Amino acid sequence: MLYNSIIIILSILTFLIPLLISIALLTLIERKVLAALQRRRGPNKRGIIGLLQPFSDGFKLLLKQPLLPLIANKFIYFISPIITFSLSLFVWFVIPFDFFNIFVDLDLSIFYILAFSSLTTYGLILAGWASNSRYAFLGSIRAIAQMLSYEVFSGLVIINIILLTGTINITEIVLAQTNMWFFFPLIPLFFIHFIAILSETNRPPFDLPEAESELVAGYHTEYSSINFALFFLGEYSNIIFTSALITLFFLGGWLPFFSIINFSNNSIPLFFYFLFKLIFIVFIFIWIRATLPRYRYDQLIRLGWKYAMPIALSFFLFLILIGSIIDFN
């Protein structure tokens, strides 16, 4: 019994440690890409070409004194970043990196992801409320309003893919794209889903919950030290996770372009196809941050409910109609 527990713990650590290192490196990559786009150097002092900068930043946050507002709800104040960070890691357990590398292959993997993704809302609202700060509370209200708004049509996009494939298992959805990625027949849904994940991760141009010109730092205004680091790590984990989802749903996951895979005779490891597409989507996240100005809040809500929602719903009704015609014939 003890031996099995040790094996399980070691396997979880083997899975999570590379993920945490990837999150740290993403912060460096973002700063380097932003520096290149803005014609400056970026981090270059810690280690070779600044490779140790993320670890230096993390060590600095660990050493800083955690500050607690006098009128904050202490327990909820400290538990909120832990909730946000933990949920951002749990969703990774059902993500297939290739046909053979997946931690848990659930038949209901999409339901698992939707359930845990919706729970992240609680971490944000609790952080804003427990801080007892107007700026933090307004930031959390904004985050929840836009997250719920964009989760509705993001869910519709996923339902369209489920209707198209007839499965709620992510591995089977990827294998359904063996002959053609879903990006090509579902281009509008791809862009709608990409807008949704930009909003759900609070990334520019939809970073209104953290708008420094209005709300200082939004829902984590009163957080510092390790508590702020947990919010920061959770946000970047969600960026990589949502990029992985859009890769699996629309870009064929680990499948090469328009190829029928022979898993035993493929010269390039399948994981590298997945990794290349994932890095490309993450690069677009960073590129958008460097180029687009922030939306007003009314523009953000209007974009979701007046434009994205009707398009996603139209595709949903169209697929139902096509399916009913095929069944009738």
In order along its 329 residues, the chain shows pLDDT tens digits of 666 677 777 777 777 888 888 888 898 889 899 898 888 888 888 878 888 888 888 888 888 877 777 777 788 888 888 888 888 888 888 898 887 778 788 888 898 888 888 788 788 888 888 888 888 888 888 888 887 778 888 888 998 899 888 889 999 999 898 888 999 888 999 999 999 888 888 888 888 777 777 777 777 778 888 888 888 888 888 899 999 999 999 998 888 875 544 555 555 677 888 999 999 999 999 999 888 888 888 888 888 888 888 888 888 888 888 766 665 45
- 116 and 30 within one domain: no
Task: Give 280-283's long-range contacts (Cβ < 8 A, gap of 24+).
Answer: 281/243, 281/246, 281/247, 281/251, 282/26, 282/29, 282/239, 282/240, 282/243, 283/33
Tally of domains in the chain = 2
Is 46 a member of any domain? yes
**Which residue from 270, 218, 292 is spatially nearest to 97, judged by alpha carbons?**
270
Is 295 a member of any domain? yes
Residue after which a domain boundary falls, among 63, 94, 112: 63
- 52 and 199 within one domain: no
Backbone angles phi, psi at 196, to 5 degrees: -65, -40
Euclidean distance between CA atoms 290 and 49, whole angstroms: 21
Is 68 a member of any domain? no
**Which residue from 154, 240, 141 is spatially nearest to 195, judged by alpha carbons?**
154
- 54 and 110 within one domain: no
- 293 and 162 within one domain: yes
State which residues form the domain around 300. 73-328
- 268 and 134 within one domain: yes
CB 200 within 8 A of CB 154: yes
- 113 and 242 within one domain: yes
- 266 and 320 within one domain: yes
CB 224 within 8 A of CB 66: yes
Is 21 a member of any domain? yes
Chain position carrying tokens 């499948």: 255
In one-letter notation, the amino acid at residue 63 is L
- 33 and 155 within one domain: no
